[in-house]
Structure 1
Amino acid sequence: MLNTLTGVKGRLKEDGDVHPLSGIRVLAFTHYAAGPIAAQYLGSLGAEVIKIEAPAGDYQRSGIKEPTAAADAPSPYFLGMNRNQRSLSIDLKRPEAQAVIREIISQKDIILENFRPGVLDRMGLGNSALLAKHPGLIYCSIAAYDPAGPGRNKPGQDLIIQALSGIASLGGAADGPPTPAGGYIVDTYTASQAVIGIQAAARQRDQTGLGQWVRVDMMSCALHLLTSESSYALNAREQACRGRNGISHSHQPASYGIYSTLDGAIALVARPASLPDIAAALGLSDPVIPLLEGSGAWTNRDEIAGILSDRLRQLTSNDALTRLAPTGILLAPVRSIDQALADPDVAGELVREVEHGYGGRYRVILEPLKLSGSPLVFDRPAPDLGEHSVEVLREAGIDQDRIDALIASGTVRATEKKR
Structure 2
Amino acid sequence: MLSITGKSNGLHEGDVHPLSGIRVLAFTHYAAGPIAAQYLGSLGADVIKIEAPAGDYQRSGIKELTAAADAPSPYFLGINRNQRSLSIDLKKPEAQKIIREMISHADVILENFRPGVLERMGLGSAALLEMNHRLIYCSIAAYDPAGPSRNKPGQDLIIQALSGIASLGGSADGPPVAAGAYIVDTYTASQAVIGIQAALRQRDQTERGQWVRVDMMSCALHLLASESSYTLNAQQQASRGRNGISHSHQPAPYGIYSTRDGAIALVAHPVALPDVAAALDLTDRIVPLLEGKGAWTKRDEIAAILSDRLRQLTSDDAFSRLAPTGILLAPVRSIGQALADPDVASELVREVEHSYGGRYRVALEPLKLSGSPLVFDRPAPDLGEHSVEVLRESGIDPDRIEALIASGAVRVSGPPAGEE
User: TM class, shorter-chain normalised?
Assistant: over 0.9
- Indicate the residue corresponding to 1:407 in structure 2: 405
Question: How far off its partner does 1:70 sit?
Answer: 3.5
Pick one of 319, 326, 336 that aligns with 1:328.
326
- Indicate the residue corresponding to 2:235 in structure 1: 237
CA contact (8 A) 1:107 1:134 kept: no
- Indicate the residue corresponding to 1:24 in structure 2: 22
- Indicate the residue corresponding to 1:198 in structure 2: 196
Identity %: 84
- Indicate the residue corresponding to 1:275 in structure 2: 273
Once residues 115 and 316 of structure 1 are traced to their aligned partners in structure 2, the CA distance between those partners, rounded to angstroms, is 50
Amino acid of the structure 2 residue aligned with 1:91: D
Q: 1:87 to 1:124 in 2, by over 3 A?
A: same
Question: How far off its partner does 1:336 sit?
Answer: 0.4
Amino acid of the structure 1 residue aligned with 2:123: L
| Cα-to-partner distance string for 1:284-305 (whole Å, 9 max, x where unaligned) | 1111111111111111111110
CA contact (8 A) 2:12 2:20 kept: no
CA contact (8 A) 2:257 2:307 kept: yes
Once residues 394 and 69 of structure 2 are traced to their aligned partners in structure 1, the CA distance between those partners, rounded to angstroms, is 34
CA contact (8 A) 1:55 1:91 kept: yes
Q: Secondary structure at the match of 1:27?
A: strand
Which ranges of structure 1 fall in alignment gaps of 5 or more residues? 1-12
- Indicate the residue corresponding to 2:162 in structure 1: 164
Q: Secondary structure at the match of 2:65?
A: coil
Once residues 99 and 272 of structure 2 are traced to their aligned partners in structure 1, the CA distance between those partners, rounded to angstroms, is 62
Once residues 237 and 135 of structure 2 are traced to their aligned partners in structure 1, the CA distance between those partners, rounded to angstroms, is 45
- Indicate the residue corresponding to 1:181 in structure 2: 179
Q: Secondary structure at the match of 1:63?
A: coil
1:102 aligns with 2:105: no
CA contact (8 A) 2:114 2:151 kept: yes
Q: Secondary structure at the match of 2:190?
A: helix
Question: How far off its partner does 1:267 sit?
Answer: 0.4
- Indicate the residue corresponding to 2:8 in structure 1: none
Question: How far off its partner does 1:73 sit?
Answer: 1.4
**Deviates further, 215-224 or 358-367:** 358-367
Amino acid of the structure 2 residue aligned with 1:126: G
CA contact (8 A) 1:55 1:89 kept: yes
Q: Secondary structure at the match of 1:362?
A: strand
Q: 1:253 to 1:130 in 2, by over 3 A?
A: same
Question: How far off its partner does 1:14 sit?
Answer: 5.6
**Deviates further, 47-56 or 101-110:** 101-110
Matches within 5 A, 1:56-205: 56-65=54-63, 67-106=65-104, 108-205=106-203
What is the aligned residue count? 406
CA contact (8 A) 1:107 1:135 kept: no
Once residues 228 and 87 of structure 1 are traced to their aligned partners in structure 2, the CA distance between those partners, rounded to angstroms, is 40
**Deviates further, 383-392 or 66-75:** 66-75
Question: How far off its partner does 1:143 sit?
Answer: 0.1
1:46 aligns with 2:36: no
**Deviates further, 31-40 or 72-81:** 72-81
What's the C-alpha RMSD, in Å, of the aligned pairs? 1.4
Amino acid of the structure 2 residue aligned with 1:387: E
- Indicate the residue corresponding to 2:5 in structure 1: none
**Deviates further, 68-77 or 97-106:** 68-77
CA contact (8 A) 1:353 1:361 kept: yes
- Indicate the residue corresponding to 2:220 in structure 1: 222
CA contact (8 A) 1:62 1:73 kept: no
| Cα-to-partner distance string for 1:92-138 (whole Å, 9 max, x where unaligned) | 11111111100111165200000000000000000000111111100
CA contact (8 A) 1:171 1:180 kept: yes
Once residues 221 and 393 of structure 1 are traced to their aligned partners in structure 2, the CA distance between those partners, rounded to angstroms, is 35
Once residues 237 and 181 of structure 1 are traced to their aligned partners in structure 2, the CA distance between those partners, rounded to angstroms, is 25
| Cα-to-partner distance string for 1:64-83 (whole Å, 9 max, x where unaligned) | 13535434311111000000
Once residues 122 and 66 of structure 2 are traced to their aligned partners in structure 1, the CA distance between those partners, rounded to angstroms, is 42
- Indicate the residue corresponding to 1:309 in structure 2: 307
Amino acid of the structure 1 residue aligned with 2:23: R
Question: How far off its partner does 1:408 sit?
Answer: 1.1
| Cα-to-partner distance string for 1:296-334 (whole Å, 9 max, x where unaligned) | 111111111000000000111111111001111111010
Question: How far off its partner does 1:359 sit?
Answer: 5.0
Matches within 5 A, 1:296-375: 296-375=294-373
Amino acid of the structure 1 residue aligned with 2:129: L
Amino acid of the structure 1 residue aligned with 2:241: G
Q: 1:68 to 1:299 in 2, by over 3 A?
A: closer
CA contact (8 A) 2:184 2:219 kept: yes
CA contact (8 A) 1:51 1:88 kept: yes
- Indicate the residue corresponding to 1:264 in structure 2: 262
Q: 1:168 to 1:24 in 2, by over 3 A?
A: same
CA contact (8 A) 1:107 1:137 kept: no
| TM-score, reference length from structure 2 | 0.95
- Indicate the residue corresponding to 1:380 in structure 2: 378
Q: 1:14 to 1:408 in 2, by over 3 A?
A: closer
CA contact (8 A) 2:185 2:216 kept: yes
| TM-score, reference length from structure 1 | 0.95
- Indicate the residue corresponding to 1:4 in structure 2: none
Once residues 195 and 286 of structure 2 are traced to their aligned partners in structure 1, the CA distance between those partners, rounded to angstroms, is 50
Once residues 205 and 67 of structure 1 are traced to their aligned partners in structure 2, the CA distance between those partners, rounded to angstroms, is 45
Once residues 357 and 206 of structure 2 are traced to their aligned partners in structure 1, the CA distance between those partners, rounded to angstroms, is 47
Moved over 6 A (4+): none
Once residues 295 and 139 of structure 1 are traced to their aligned partners in structure 2, the CA distance between those partners, rounded to angstroms, is 51
CA contact (8 A) 1:259 1:309 kept: yes
CA contact (8 A) 2:23 2:105 kept: no
Q: Secondary structure at the match of 2:95?
A: helix
CA contact (8 A) 1:144 1:217 kept: yes
Q: Secondary structure at the match of 2:351?
A: strand
